[in-house]
Chains A and B, each alone.
Chain A
Amino acid sequence: MERNLMKGNEALAEAAIRAGCKCFFGYPITPQTELAAYMAKRMHKAGGVFLPAESEIAAINMVLGAASTGVRAMTSSSSPGISLKSEGVSYIAGSDLPAVIINVERGGPGLGGIQPSQADYWQATKALGHGDFQLLVYAPASVQEMVDYVVKAFDRADKYRMPAMILADGLLGQMMEPVSFPEINPDAYDKSGWAANGHKNARDHHIINSLYLKPDELENSIIERYKRYDIIKETETEAELYLTEDCDILVCAFGATARVVKSAVNTAREQGIKAGLFRPKTLWPFPVKEINEAAKSAKALLSVEMSMGQMIDDIKLAINCSKPVEFFGRTGGVIPTPAEVLAEIKRIGGTL
């Protein structure tokens, strides 16, 4: 397959177009702006719509509208912009609509900074909006995975009729790596049973709605949704296990941080320390089976994140607090170095 050299942000956009995304609505924000710029250049040539919205809130509601008609729709932003979109994301989930949302994270809270961060883990996996709902959350760690998971996000969003998120960060968005684009079938799912598109009175109305004034009806709709979530938890988890078979220390990290950790794990191994890496590729659903498999021989776990420690909660839950879970993180846009992670591995190794 032909290898292209692309920025992560551009690869996200190209993959979306190839995945049949016909509507992109966005509002500029560093460090994801190249994505919207790429869409501006390419989308109309691909027969789709690129619309620079007047705000993030407008953009996400345009996604809701476009998704209602059954077309593949997407928006992208970075952390503060995603907070603005949260109301619309909740409505999309409540309306059982497929859509893809991309967050190229930067430091927060507030306007924060513009350098890479992973401090939106809780937001993405626990509460991107009000109400009982989840998003599928994918955490790519390379430009190639940006492509692969955009394709998958569109597919699974259609399959389960729910929003899916790519949780990336400024480092992955800005870096260039070789990528190749797979063959994609964007029309794998029949939406004729629910899409609110034109029908010239040839069928009954399709109504897209998230308002249920009778509590039992609302409860039933949520219970139905959670049955889908159960299937997803059973079948959609993905993780990379690296040198975990005999590891004493299992280092857990996702996205760009996992690359830093991999370098540290390799150095630790060269120095005779049995370290391994567990990298969740899906953050929701969290790969519970996979982490328990990876942690089998481990005496301690270490979560490394570009935040003050968010994924660590899911790790403790997943292993039922059966082993000590330590934390190391840098935040505010600071990227941890392999040397810092190695020092933490050694510190924990010294106490085993």
Chain B
Amino acid sequence: MATTEILLAGFGGQGILFAGKILAYCGLMDNKELSWLPSYGPEMRGGTCNCSVCISDEPIGSPLVLTPDLLIVMNQPSFDKFVKDVRPGGKVFFDSSMIEANTDRTDISLFGIPSQQMADDNELKGGSNIILLGKLLKETNICSLDTMKKAIEKVVPPKKAALIPNNYKAIELGMNA
């Protein structure tokens, strides 16, 4: 496998960095090389927030993802900003309850699911990000379901361990969407 470059983007508070961390831990669990780089600074306070994740069999060069193979996007400004940068053949996962997919690109695959709506309907408050991860897991060979479950166990802080089953459920919802 060459390097898979993933970009996650949305509003601060939507769990962009958290979802990115889960992907990074998936790489760690599978003994891959990986990097996780957040945007930091004033833009995190309610503004847009994004996060670069690289997973590879080889050492990672630049950790900054400029042309993602995979894009997870959770708000309209980020969709509009980043969809043009996706590498040809790349895949975009977005929340169709928040985003209108107005792009004329035909060389990429768009996977829109109403993740925010699904999270609300299933009483998974704040689970939209993880539902999108589930969809990404289904549509790519980034890692196994088992690996992602283990990664979730690592990333959810011990104090919030009771929320792990909810995260599993969110993954499942995304995979079946």
Contact = CB atoms under 8 A, between A and B. Distances in A.
Interface of A: 3, 5, 30-31, 114-115, 170-171, 174-178, 259-260, 262-263, 266, 335, 337-339
B61 A259 contact: yes
B66 interface: yes
Interface in B1-56: 21, 24-25, 28, 31, 33-38, 40-41
Given A5-B21, A114-B41, A337-B66, 17 more contacts: A5-B25, A5-B154, A30-B40, A31-B40, A174-B40, A175-B35, A175-B36, A176-B24, A177-B35, A178-B34, A259-B61, A260-B64, A263-B61, A263-B62, A266-B61, A338-B62, A339-B66
Contacts of A266: 61
B38 A174 contact: yes
A351 B62 CA distance: 27
B63 interface: yes
Interface residues of B, number: 20
B41 A260 contact: no
Contacts of B21: 5, 176
A260 B64 CA distance: 9
Mostly, the A contact residues are mixed
A114 B40 CA distance: 9
B41 A338 contact: no
Given A174-B37, A175-B36, A3 B64 contact: no
A262 B41 CA distance: 27
Contacts of A31: 40
A144 to B, nearest CB: 10
A37 B21 CA distance: 19
A338 B60 CA distance: 13
Contacts of B63: 171, 175, 177, 259
A251 B105 CA distance: 36
A81 B60 CA distance: 31
